[in-house]
Amino acid sequence: MSSEIKFIPRTNASRNTFLTAAINKHIALGVASILTPTTATKLVAQQPAYKLAMAAIGPLKAVYYNSAHDKEAKGVACAMWSSHFIQTFFMGVQRGVFAVGDLAYYGLDENGTLPDMSSEEKILEVAQKIVDGDINRMAVAGAVAMSMPTAAEVKAKKIALADARTATNNALDALKQAQIACNALNGAADELIRFLQGEIETHFSNLPRATMRDEARLWGMKYTKGGSDKKVTGVVTDAANGLAIEGAVVRFANGLNEDETTVAGAYAINTTLMDVQDLIAEHPLYKTYTEPQTLVEGTNPVINIKMVRL
């Protein structure tokens, strides 16, 4: 059995949207505003501060996203140069340019298998072994220098990746601090939103329900349909290669809950929403996914998501 649910903002963006719509309507009505003086005073005092805190997040998020992209590109480059170095060295061993024993300098064996470079940490570790190993090998009299690429070129790619990681971590820290500053305002914002919703609905309570909803929406309020508890699960993958995406945040636009995908790309959201609802998935390296999904009573749907790279 479905029922109407008054949407209560639970994200910083939805709080900001509600408060902005409310103050715009309040200002537009002037002395005819439906808000009590106390609530109006709180709104005028708190909304600009919340808007300012939200405005600080946007640019920092852009810096973080750009840094994450740059770090990924430099990780690919470092892995490529390291792989090229190792493969070229293997061929040199086969041609007799380098001794088989020289492989040990780089932590390699004779089977010609490339080391694991499936993560940034492992890429950096492999590159460091190349750099250190080449220094030790070249310290031996008569050692033949390696080229195409050189260990120095690998070192440059490693440094670039390490610097990009530092820049990304710093950007993420700055973003988190801005989000923390905004979150510190949420308690007061949530209390204000409760007062606003109560006064708005009370003012329009004599109108037919549909008309009341239409009037309330002009103040930023939203309504949706809800029912029994449901568990929505699924896996988020890359649309191009099918690989799992870790760290994507999945939520319903009108929902209260969200979940971050695991290393296997899995997510799970508990919700009471019903009917057509927009499912959203966000990740710094991918375009935001937004698709309508139909939620039916008595079901726990599995909704898999494919995200497209930026």
The tens-digit pLDDT sequence of the chain (310 residues) is 567 888 888 889 889 999 999 999 999 999 999 999 999 999 999 999 999 999 999 999 999 999 999 999 999 999 999 999 999 999 999 999 999 999 999 999 888 899 999 999 999 999 999 999 999 999 998 999 999 999 999 999 999 999 999 999 999 999 999 999 999 999 999 999 999 999 999 999 999 999 999 999 999 998 887 888 899 999 999 999 999 999 999 999 888 789 999 999 999 999 999 989 999 999 988 999 999 999 998 899 999 999 999 8
Does an H or E element contain 278, and which?
strand 275-283
Model pTM score: 0.78
Query: 306 with 290: CB under 8 angstroms?
Result: no
Pair type for strands 305-307 and 249-252: unpaired
Q: Look at residue 10 in the predicted model and tell me its pLDDT.
A: 82
pLDDT for residue 193 = 97
What pLDDT, on a 0 to 100 scale, did the predictor assign at position 257?
A: 87
Place of tokens 């940490």: 121
Closest CA to 171 of 247, 63, 74, 75: 63
Strand ordering across the sheet containing 275-283: 258-260, 249-252, 275-283, 286-295
pLDDT of residue 1: 57
pLDDT at residue 196, as a whole number: 97
Nearest to 161 by CA among 68, 242, 225: 68
Within 8 A by CB and 6+ apart from 203, the residues are 34
CA gyration radius, the chain: 28
Query: Can you give the pLDDT at residue 2?
Result: 63
Block residue for tokens 């030790």: 136
